[in-house]
Amino acid sequence: MALTKNPNVLKWVDEMIALTKPEKVVWIDGSKEQLDALTDEVCALPEGNRDKMYRLNQEKLPGCLYHRTLPNDVARVEDRTFICTPTKEEAGPTNNWCDPAEMYAKLSKLYDGVMKGRTMYVIPYSMGPIGSPLAKVGVEITDSIYVVLNMNIMTRMGAQAFENLGDTSNDFVRGLHSKADVDPENRYIVQFPQDNTIWSINSAYGGNVLLGKKCFALRIASYQGKNEGWMAEHMLILGVKKPDGKVVYITAAFPSACGKTNLAMLIPPKYYKDQGYEVFTVGDDIAWMKPGEDGRLYAINPENGFFGVAPGTNAKSNYNALASTMKNTIFTNVALNNADNTVWWEGLDKNPPEDATEWKGAKVNGKEFTAVIGADGKPQKLAHPNSRFTAPAHNCPCVSPEFDNPKGVPVSAIIFGGRRASTTPLVYQSFDWTHGTYMGSAVSSETTAAATGAVGVLRHDPMAMKPFIGYNVGDYWAHWLEMGEKLGDKAPKIFNVNWFKQDENGNFMWPGFGDNMRVLDWIIKRCEGTIDAEETAIGYLPKKEDINLTGIEDEVTPEILDKLLAVDKDLWKKEIAEMRRYYDEDITAKGGHVPAALYAQLDKIEARLNG
């Protein structure tokens, strides 16, 4: 039975039924009874069925489920992701583009009758706290129970979202998903920003199919934000409570699998804990930000859960993330420990289970399996490098008391970062918002397993949004500049960090994880204006003595700190030359609208480096 009287929703659902021709239509109200029944159904599927999910050890991991996707369907597919705007220029040079009419026609053929013999689930959901002026409603149609159960964790799902939409509004995002035959040759992840519409077909994994996440909350929302005066960003949101009781909120944009979840849930080192510092998580992946009544920038996390990278997560690296996965969590493409029906992944501990099922489904002796060198020259892996947990945010021991605050939290600092083996120092601050916008445009990072394709290749990833900007990248930068003008002297300060700088032997020089608190400490003091800095050609750098190393003096010697904070002029001249080439060739020459103010920043940095 339809859960809404809203004629816009009903008309669209009818059209999608006519197109996909499901045997049955189920409206997802979000009730426990309904979700339990769907869980029973999907776990009862026969072994070998590709939709099958498994209940894990219900004593050790109550409410937890396990699923494996097909080996060709384990990450976002950027080469099959499209922004379909009326003109190619509106999509700009960072996106694949296709004419909307052409794409609708092509995909309609693939969707025609695709749900014959299947059940269609209609999922109403809210991105952002119900009732928040910053929240938005979406409806996802899918033929996958796995999607329903994940959306239940990742969003505020169910009938309440329709209450928020009301009986007449047409302001909701229409998402159509079918796993179809999970055929990689016909896999498409398509956004139509002008129509508030997303069509996804032939995948059953993560950001390709949980349409509230990257497709809506970044690609569609970035376009909405430009038109409506707010920002949708690939950023974590955290709060640092200081000994004086004040909480400072910081957002940070790092590319996929570059440390957002880890930073968002950071546990301060002993030195800081002893003084009373605490960190609270508001979000680990996406921030929606809008100026508030007091003129400051406020951020909400549109999501309600964490779709986090499993490998590398352990009690030491990210205790809070691990604790978040102990109940009501869905694990995807990790390994099974068959001895007790629990999960395992590389980096959880040093003991791969002997009786294991690896991520592709083969039963193996985990110890022997991981001792064999694979085709990539590295030990074989039991869990896929992009295996993930889907965990409710309220499971997190350090979830912020402001998590559901409809107003959001006021942002004092914005951080950019990426994986850079060289050149980029541990931390530096922009001279002002415009320079900070330049810094964001200049983010580049070594690629990770979060998207298909080569790993470890340096690529430009402006604002960590390369795969997620739903319109012309130059117009997006112009929007950043406009937001800065609007915020004026209330704008957050902008910083850049690099946890991944390497020594001559390829080892990370900075311990990272909890010790990143030491860098946040410097950032907070800079925001409060209580500390000086070195003015360099690229921005403000910390004075050596201002990075607190109490407790890690042996690990981070003065020589290492020198290297971490070094600004090598020759490398930076190359960096700036590459940025000019990027603006000229990759962006401007391809219709990318680079704002003059950003070219002017390039000129200024160049002049400072040569001066």
User: What positions carry a catalytic annotation?
Assistant: 258
C-alpha to C-alpha distance for 438 and 477, rounded to whole angstroms: 8
Which 98-117 positions form the footprint of Mn ion (CB under 5 A)? none
Task: Out of 140, 285, 404, 575, point to the residue binding Mn ion (CB under 5 A).
Answer: 285
Residue 450 Cβ vs ligand SPV, minimum distance, rounded to whole Å:
4
Query: Which SS3 state, helix, strand or coil, does residue 274 take?
Result: helix
Task: Out of 301, 387, 441, 516, point to the residue binding ligand GTP (CB under 6 A).
Answer: 516
CB nearer to Mn ion: pick between 256 and 434: 256
Place of tokens 């791969």: 352
The DSSP string of 556-576 is S-HHHHHHHT---HHHHHHHH
Residue 219, contacted partner among ligand SPV, ligand GTP, Mn ion, none, CB below 5-8 A by kind: none
Among the candidate windows 17-25, 107-115, 259-267, 520-528, which touches ligand GTP by CB under 6 A? 259-267
CA 90 to chain centre: 24
Which 249-308 positions form the footprint of ligand SPV (CB under 6 A)? 256, 285, 307
CB nearer to ligand SPV: pick between 223 and 438: 223
Which 441-470 positions form the footprint of ligand SPV (CB under 6 A)? 450
Q: Are 23 and 116 in contact (CB under 8 A)?
A: yes
Among the candidate windows 92-100, 253-261, 553-561, 565-573, which touches ligand GTP by CB under 6 A? 253-261
Does 250 bind ligand GTP (CB under 6 A)? Our answer is: no
Among the candidate windows 207-215, 481-489, 539-547, 559-567, which touches ligand SPV by CB under 6 A? 207-215
CB nearer to ligand GTP: pick between 239 and 311: 311
In this structure, the chain runs to a length of: 611
CB nearer to ligand SPV: pick between 196 and 256: 256
Task: Out of 69, 256, 387, 445, point to the residue binding ligand GTP (CB under 6 A).
Answer: 256
C-alpha to C-alpha distance for 316 and 248, rounded to whole angstroms: 25
3-state secondary structure 69-104: CCCCCCCECHHHEEECCCCHHHHCCCCEECCHHHHH
CB nearer to ligand SPV: pick between 197 and 386: 386
CB nearer to Mn ion: pick between 320 and 337: 320
Q: Are 403 and 301 in contact (CB under 8 A)?
A: yes
Place of tokens 């704008």: 491
Place of tokens 């909405």: 224
Task: Out of 30, 92, 206, 539, point to the residue binding ligand SPV (CB under 6 A).
Answer: 206
Residue 460 Cβ vs ligand GTP, minimum distance, rounded to whole Å:
17
CB nearer to Mn ion: pick between 222 and 256: 256
CA distances to 159, 228, 239, 305, 410 from 293, rounded to whole Å, are 30, 16, 20, 28, 11
Residue 515 Cβ vs ligand GTP, minimum distance, rounded to whole Å:
8
Binding pattern to ligand SPV, positions 69-88, x when CB under 6 A? -------x------------
Tokens encoding 53: 């999910």
Among the candidate windows 115-123, 254-262, 483-491, 549-557, which touches Mn ion by CB under 5 A? 254-262
Binding pattern to ligand GTP, positions 483-512, x when CB under 6 A? ----------------xx-------x---x
C-alpha to C-alpha distance for 263 and 250, rounded to whole angstroms: 11
CB nearer to Mn ion: pick between 100 and 259: 259
Among the candidate windows 48-56, 245-253, 255-263, 529-537, which touches Mn ion by CB under 5 A? 255-263
CB 120: neighbour CB atoms within 10 A?
21
Q: What are phi and psi of 80, to 5 degrees?
A: -115, 15
- Site residue total, ligand SPV (CB under 6 A): 9
Does 513 bind ligand GTP (CB under 6 A)? Our answer is: yes
Give the CB-nearest residue to ligand SPV. 207
Which letter does DSSP use for residue 219 in this model?
Answer: I
Residue 76, contacted partner among ligand SPV, Mn ion, ligand GTP, none, CB below 5-8 A by kind: ligand SPV
Crossing angle between the packed helical segments 7-20 and 100-111, to the nearest 10 degrees: 60
Q: Are 402 and 409 in contact (CB under 8 A)?
A: yes
Among the candidate windows 35-43, 205-213, 455-463, 573-581, which touches ligand SPV by CB under 6 A? 205-213
CB nearer to ligand SPV: pick between 43 and 455: 455
Residue 516, contacted partner among ligand GTP, ligand SPV, Mn ion, none, CB below 5-8 A by kind: ligand GTP
C-alpha to C-alpha distance for 400 and 386, rounded to whole angstroms: 27
- Cα–Cα nearest to 475, from 376, 332, 574, 592: 592
Helix (H) or strand (E) holding 473: helix 473-487
Q: Are 96 and 79 in contact (CB under 8 A)?
A: yes
- Cα–Cα nearest to 521, from 155, 210, 198, 269: 269
C-alpha to C-alpha distance for 425 and 564, rounded to whole angstroms: 5
Task: Out of 124, 308, 462, 474, point to the residue binding ligand GTP (CB under 6 A).
Answer: 308
Which letter does DSSP use for residue 488 in this model?
Answer: G
Beta strands in 397-517 (DSSP E): 409-417, 427-429, 444-446, 458-460, 493-497
Which 315-374 positions form the footprint of ligand GTP (CB under 6 A)? 317
Give the CB-nearest residue to Mn ion. 285
Place of tokens 């020198």: 562
Q: Are strands 197-201 and 172-178 parallel, antiparallel or unpaired?
A: parallel
Tokens encoding 1: 């039975």
- Site residue total, Mn ion (CB under 5 A): 2
| Cross-strand bridge partners of residue 364 | 356
Does 333 bind ligand SPV (CB under 6 A)? Our answer is: no
Which 402-461 positions form the footprint of ligand GTP (CB under 6 A)? 450
| Chain positions contacting ligand SPV, by CB under 6 A | 76, 206-207, 213-214, 256, 285, 307, 450
| Chain positions contacting ligand GTP, by CB under 6 A | 254, 256-262, 284-285, 308-309, 311-312, 317, 450, 499-500, 508, 512-513, 516
